Structure 1
Amino acid sequence: MDLEYSSFISKIFQSKIVFLLIGFVLTSLLVSEFAFADVFIPTQEYLGYFDYQGVYTVGGNVKNQNDYAVIPTITVSVVDGENTFTKTISHVPIPPKTDIPFKIKIPEIQGENPVLLEAKLNFMKTQKDPISIQVLYDNTLIKHDDGHVTGRIKNIGNQTVFNPKILAIVHGHEKVLDIVNNIEYIEKIEPNQILNFSMYPDPSITDKVFFYSCFAPLDTTVVPVIAKKNGGDFDFRYDSGAWYSAAKFNEEGTVLTMRGYNSYPLETYANFEFPQISGKEKFTVTLNDKPVKFIQSVDEAGFWHVAFNVDPISQGILKITGFEKGLPPETSKIPKWIKTNANWWSTDQISDSEFLEGIDFLFKKGIIAVTPRELINESNWKIPSWIKTTSGWWSEDKISDDDFLKIVENLVKRKIIVI
């Protein structure tokens, strides 16, 4: 190594953004044993660990090397003594040639030496353009002594982006340590606007953090949940900087409980969306049986919203009381929020990929069943305009649910959606 090159390397290591430069180099050098796949999780970016609060956590990074976007379905299994726990999630849409990390909490695991098995990965072809948010890789992107990182994002597009999040992978000196996201709630970012963000690793690994990589902006943060209620399925969604799992109702169907976790040392938020049953529901919220201050409201689509702040480094049993007995009067087997999405999509209020997430949900619930087929590598495909028009008709009840489902089946048979 000559002196000039040695001096150059020395200057790099003295820079505030050394962790980023090293991250780019190491990430480009690492080669997965599954590198032949078009959509895969690199083995060196797949991990399981107990977080600060003792909850077993699985994280990984999904790479999409195709020329088209995909919605991956990730199945994670962990052997815990004589038991095997399996969790399946539908990941957010991943644009072409893009990486987006994921994270799953599995509180059921109690053993000291759980074994994380290789993840299973399937995906559905979709349409998703890269998010118009750019992380600014300049001297404002800094890893601090306590392991957290601060930086800035800019909207480089010409459209407002609502509820954006930034994900990243946290690396130690020898392995991946955590998957993190920005801790602040960002309502929106206007074109050319620059906003600050911060990320905190799990408190159990703050002194081991070396660098961050794979900063991934995304605009899809709502998590769909199904809980059994009075002999049927009760579908709801939430958006939060915290994690919620194990949703269930009491026998009467009036109280919903979940496990909640916020491992970060800062306050975050939670916003739950529920379908109305009688329209007269009056909720109360507790965490570990202590009252939580919240706001109850109803949106234009008729969904209840229950929103509240989540304390730093907190966990416990979240209990929402006040549901009416029975299920929502909606008799359709298609959840109302999918119909709402169809209306928004038909009027260009949401993207194609957000609409297709609802379609993916129909497959997962078995509402639509089409024989699986091989994925055909087509990079220049579009959803025909007549489908958007028809979706608008369906949202206005001008065509039946069955007619709409036939249209979706047609999408699959024509290989516009491939499962």
Structure 2
Amino acid sequence: MRLFSICMIFGLVGVVIAVHPAFANVWIPDDEYSGFYDINGTYTVIGAVKNTQDVSIVPTITINIKDGSSVYSQNYTLSTVNSQKDIPFKIQIPEIKGKDATLDRPQVSYITTSHVNPDVDVIYDKTLKKHGDGHETGMILNNSTSPAYGIKIFAAIYGKDGKFLDVGKSIETISKIDPGQKVAFSMYPDPQHATSVSYYSCFVVSDNPTIQVTMTKDGKPYNFTYLTTGSVTDVQFNYDTRSITATVRYPFPDTGYVNFMFPEESESEKFSVLSDGKPAQFIQSKDPDGYWHVALTLGPKSVQHIAISGFGDPATAQASQKEDYRNYILIAIPIGAAAVIVMILKKRKD
């Protein structure tokens, strides 16, 4: 069966200049935003951000869910969305335990960016195919004269009636695609939707041009990345304050931006930022791959000494684990003793 696909290209090579709340020109349509429990019982939120502005953006969505008497709210940063284009997303939220959770309307904020997209396309020929179990296979081609890196293919998945069913992501790791090179990809819907799939709307996404930093933290190598329109130097980990410190320079007359991306160490990490010793405004969010984002603006012709705190202390975590084990022993010993007494009394009666 011939697969109908609409494919779009995303990348980021440019300047982030501002943070905006989203209005009618950047939104998530009601009929392309929903939540469901996947085949493994994990609550999953799917949707698509539409950008009808004349500039590209990097959106952050706020997902709000009512789960019984509790409310879940979390920010997630997505990849770049070109002008007049969309980007789908699929986020699993295992924290939702109830079976009657209610998904509220999302909020969308964004930063604008100028960039050159990688010229990578899905090939429309007999290799593009939807299979009987609902999964998709195809090929992508790098039409440009330079390599593209960190390629991922996403797709909004629709049913026969045009209903938004799911979001797929290529299962292959495509670290690099050279000019003129073709690479195969495949993606699968959630099995519960397999027989209902009609067509895919594809999006090719490339990695942002982030800079990786390797430092020593708690006696081990620690890696994180950042994206900035300025420069970041003198990165260190301060053990006294449990913070990452750095000098951020922005020599230009407009407003700049820096976005630090840290691997998740716990689901409840809360960061704070000092700029030259004073509390600074920032946005904390998480991307669908589980990385925390800490983003803040840079003033014109500025030099800021940044301190980002909120990193847990392994010694405290180990002490907590030991205390939990101690409490377990204190409970287990009397339970075990009680069991022995019961066995002795039973033998005496016998």
Q: TM-score, normalised by structure 1?
A: 0.51
Q: Residues 204 and 66 (structure 1 numbering): CA distance in 2 closer, same or farther, change over 3 Å?
A: same
Displacement of 1:61 in angstroms is: 0.7
**Candidates 194, 197, 210, aligned match of 2:198:** 210
Aligned to 1:145: 132
Tell me the residue number matched to 2:216. Answer: 276
Equivalent residue for 2:107, pick from 96, 120, 135: 120
Structure 1 residues 73, 193: closer, same or farther in 2, change over 3 A? same
The one-letter code sitting in structure 2 at the alignment partner of 1:410 is P
Does the aligned pair in 1 maintain the 2:143–2:180 contact within 8 Å? yes
Aligned counterpart, 1:385: none
1:409 matches 2:299: yes
CA change 1:367–1:145 in 2 (3 A) is: farther
CA contact (8 A) 2:237 2:243 kept: no
- Name the larger-Rg structure: 2
> Which has the larger share of strand?
2
Counterpart-to-counterpart distance in 1, 2:78 and 2:272: 16
Cα separation, 2, equivalents of 1:86 and 1:16: 40
Once residues 125 and 194 of structure 2 are traced to their aligned partners in structure 1, the CA distance between those partners, rounded to angstroms, is 23
Deviation track 1:55-103 (CA, whole Å, cap 9, x = no partner) reads 1010111111112111111001111221211121111122222211112
Identity among equivalent pairs (%):
34
Q: Does 1:62 align with 2:49?
A: yes
Matches within 5 A, 1:245-324: 275-277=215-217, 279=219, 281=220, 303=223
Partner SS, residue 125 of structure 2: coil
Equivalent residue, structure 2, for 1:16:
2
Distance 1:120 1:359, change over 3 A: same
Q: Distance in 2 between matches of 1:130 and 1:76?
A: 28
Q: Does 1:192 align with 2:173?
A: no
Aligned residues: 246
C-alpha separation in 1, matches of 2:54 and 2:103: 31
Question: Could you tell me which amino acid in structure 2 is paired with residue 154 of structure 1?
Answer: L
* 8 Å Cα contact 1:74-1:122 kept in structure 2: yes
**CA distance, structure 2, for counterparts of residue 209 and residue 356 of structure 1:** 41
Counterpart of 2:83 in structure 1 is: 96
Decide whether aligned partners of structure 1 residues 95 and 172 sit closer, same or farther in structure 2, where only a CA change above 3 A counts. Answer: same
1:146 alignment partner, SS class: coil
Structure 2 unaligned residues grouped into runs of 5+: 9-21, 226-235, 250-255, 263-270, 284-295, 303-350
Matched position secondary structure for 2:299: helix
C-alpha displacement of 1:198? 0.3
1:51 and 2:49 aligned: no
Contact 1:334–1:367 (CA under 8 A) maintained in structure 2: no
State the AA in 2 paired with 1:208. S
Runs of 4 or more, structure 1, over 6 Å off, are none
Structure 1 spans left out of the alignment, 5+ residues: 1-14, 25-34, 224-236, 238-272, 282-297, 306-326, 343-354, 373-404, 413-419
Alpha-carbon separation, structure 1, partners of 2:167 and 2:217: 37
The Cα of 1:275 is off from its aligned counterpart by: 4.6
User: Cα RMSD between the aligned structures?
Assistant: 3.9
Taking a change above 3 Å as real, the CA distance of residues 167 and 202 of structure 1, as seen in their structure-2 partners, is same
Higher relative contact order (CA 8 A, sep 6+): 2
